[in-house]
Chains A and B, each alone.
Chain A
């Protein structure tokens, strides 16, 4: 499957990936991204403004830049082949698509118990009422095109490529 990889030597700590991610996953502007974004790679600045100013609580980014301007890299869900979060999920909300292998959390089932948070070896899941995590965004998880974070990166520090696993 294709995964998002971060290249530390090229990461600038600008955090544009976080801004695009939270816009793509916001209620007020997410639909626009899902409709065209993954294919065109373009994000409307006004969608970013809407997500940044209107939505309360603030939409949550599912990618996080660790480090500072000297050394940094973006971290998001690795979509592990044998995911601990899915294994440990008590409500069956966390599931891995058998075909695309993309791991998503069903917000209608999630009870916010944080078991997945404790089990994730990369610390890429946050819980705000329900667990929020990278879904390799697009029109449905694993759809063709570019996730928002990859499209946002000004320095190609994030790449969306086929992985060996």
Chain B
């Protein structure tokens, strides 16, 4: 049968440079490259290429590069190439289009319309190389007032459990199964070295990672995979996952092929069965139900751990966040629509949810209006791409941010959006041992640690330029932001003035 589905990419090989060493063939898990002894050349099956660029990077003679498949359609601004191909694909398979990573569509990126302030003349800027800077943040419910025994210098008020981070940056939830154990171990090792947190996602805590439990946030999601008393009590914080920015309103599905023996033990489900997370928690149909689960988790851990609730940024997010805060959450995670995923239906990822910038600003404003902002910490997630985005998020009201994609990029990810295939050539989104060993946790931990150190320096430079010497003084400080190219409504939701005002 003929197929109208075209390859997405074309593998271009410089014959003058290729020495036919076959590294590309051995490294490609998609079987694109093939050393053809009859033709005497290495051929490439373009249709299988996902543009992960493993071969490009590994080729010792730089003989390879990947191009977009050159076939053109009759120009059509309405029926774009991707839409037409999507119809062909669905018509030929009858299946839902699956994809991975964050929303790539050209919706407005509000981060790029927010500019940062700096001090000039009227107040001094601070040089982080010469003066102390505080990047530490403390997450958790803060009491309205505290009593101190001044004679002994001790706190009388019993503080709710707090979470201390050396950087306002944590690693977002990525479960074992969706990513490889080596990838999760890398995040765990980096989190420990950096004094921050990694998040196990909904796939349970692998026993090899229990030694990193002091830096682990464990998730309780709708599938409740891997959840037992030990799991809850080992972790530093517990996160109830209500939704995910990449796919608000729908659950998860880890195909049976990825549920290997190790994954099955960690998730506490039979080997080879599909791990299906229902769309809702079937015991949470209201804020009151959420309060019950939060209280149960607090009881199970004897009120020693903060409980966070992760919700996707959707319409009415401010009211939802307010309800979550009142349900007893210590931390609220708001995940914007550009957040990544290991697998999501394409149409959901590209069309559902709202931008994190607007959601964060409205959540922070609502909590402040209701005078409950201090009772809960807010974490922003969903495409934090650089240290400047971290600064903007904190100025818009976040206590800290989650990064997922940026951390994966540091570990070698090339954003080919094929995580759901399970054949990740970089050893990240796969449970195949022959592929996951390509990610050496020792090397990649160095990269992730480097990344966060670099961001830390950049954050210090940026807030120092504003004349601020601690993250705490930046939080919710929207006067440090100015909008460019935004309309009145956008500015009022973001709570920032336009540049020049």
Contacts and interface: CB of A to CB of B under 8 A. Distances in A.
A48 B16 CA distance: 12
B14 to A, nearest CB: 10
B443 A49 contact: no
B21 A19 contact: yes
Contacts of A16: 23, 58, 60
A57 to B, nearest CB: 15
A156 B440 contact: yes
Nearest to B432: A70
Contacts of A154: 58
B442 interface: yes
Q: Sort chain B's interface into a size bin.
A: 20 to 34
A70 B58 contact: no
A155 interface: yes
Interface string A20-56: 1000000000000000000000010110110111000
Interface residues of A, number: 24
B434 interface: yes
Contacts of A14: 23, 26-27, 58
Interface stretch (A5-13, A126-134, A135-143): A5-13
B26 A48 contact: no
Contacts of B16: 49
A84 interface: no
Interface of B is mostly: loop
Nearest to A65: B26
B19 A69 contact: no
A155 B23 contact: no
B441 to A, nearest CB: 10
B189 to A, nearest CB: 15
Contacts of A95: none
Contacts of A13: 26
Contact of A45 (B62, B433, B434, B440): B62
Contacts of A157: 440
Interface of B: 16-17, 19-23, 26-27, 58, 60-62, 433-434, 437-438, 440, 442-443
Interface of A: 9-10, 12-16, 19-20, 43, 45-46, 48-49, 51-53, 69-70, 152, 154-157
6 contacts: A10-B440, A14-B58, A16-B23, A48-B61, A49-B19, A70-B434
